Amino acid sequence: MTLCMPSFTGPHWAMIAKLGEWVPEMDRDYPFHRHMLQFLQRNNPSCTWLLKTPGHLGNLPMLFETYPDAWVVQTHRDPAKTMPSTVSTTAMVQWMRTDQVDLDMLRAVIDGVFGNALNDSVTLRESGGFPKRFVDVHFLKLLKDPVETLRRAYGSMERDFNPEHGERIRAYLADKPKGKFGVHRYTPEEWGFTREDLHNRLAPYINHYGVELE
């Protein structure tokens, strides 16, 4: 399997400050996204695109309408870790472009958009309206045994996972251990959340997928 390197993969609008009245139009964005990938792939028509963004989770109907043969690898981690991390990362990128970042607005948008997407993913996936093209990968299992976790994910998609791939993963992790370039420390409260509120509001998501709390 030959992979195409991803171009733009996520909702970069969230990384830019002061958008005014502009809002995403997903019914136009997804067809444009497909056209761009086709253009970039023109010299390698047989490769498979690998795109990484949590933004697709909130647009599953449009995703499968645009890419009916897509596979979705949905990763799972304690929302008390992921939600404040998303606000923190987005705020940091905005601060690179402006001194005025509305953290309350940013937290509310990310809490609404990604929180709803996580809970809605349960209903949408259980509705039976999508192809059975989902693979669930839990963060803590990935940390504990990355090679075996990825081997199983590949197997779910009926894709080959050869020994060389496993060795390259081990070599990469040995060269880049956790914390090599510093540690990003944060608490939910620093970014306008509480663990209890996140766990309560996202209980449908946590309970359905058996997300282990940290």
Please name the amino acid found at residue 153.
Answer: A
For residue 8, what pLDDT is reported?
A: 44
3-state secondary structure of 3: strand
Q: Determine the pLDDT at residue 23.
A: 75
Retrieve residue 48's tokens: 């498979």
Q: In terms of Cα–Cα distance, which of 190, 12, 8 is closest to 85?
A: 190
Domain locations in the chain as residue ranges? 72-209
Is residue 40 exposed (0-12), middle (13-18) or buried (19+ Cβ within 10 Å)? middle
Token pair for 57: 């989770």
Predicted pLDDT of residue 61: 92
| Amino acid (1-letter code) at residue 149 | T
pLDDT value at position 128? 86
Chain centroid to CA 117: how far?
11
> How far is Cα 123 from Cα 118, in angstroms, rounded to an integer?
10
Residue 7: its pLDDT value, please? 44
- What is the full per-residue pLDDT of the chain (214 aa) written as tens digits? 556 655 444 444 455 555 667 777 888 999 999 999 999 888 887 888 888 888 899 899 999 999 999 999 999 999 999 999 999 988 888 888 778 888 898 899 899 999 999 999 999 999 988 888 999 999 999 999 999 999 999 999 999 999 999 999 999 999 987 777 777 778 899 999 999 999 999 999 999 999 999 9
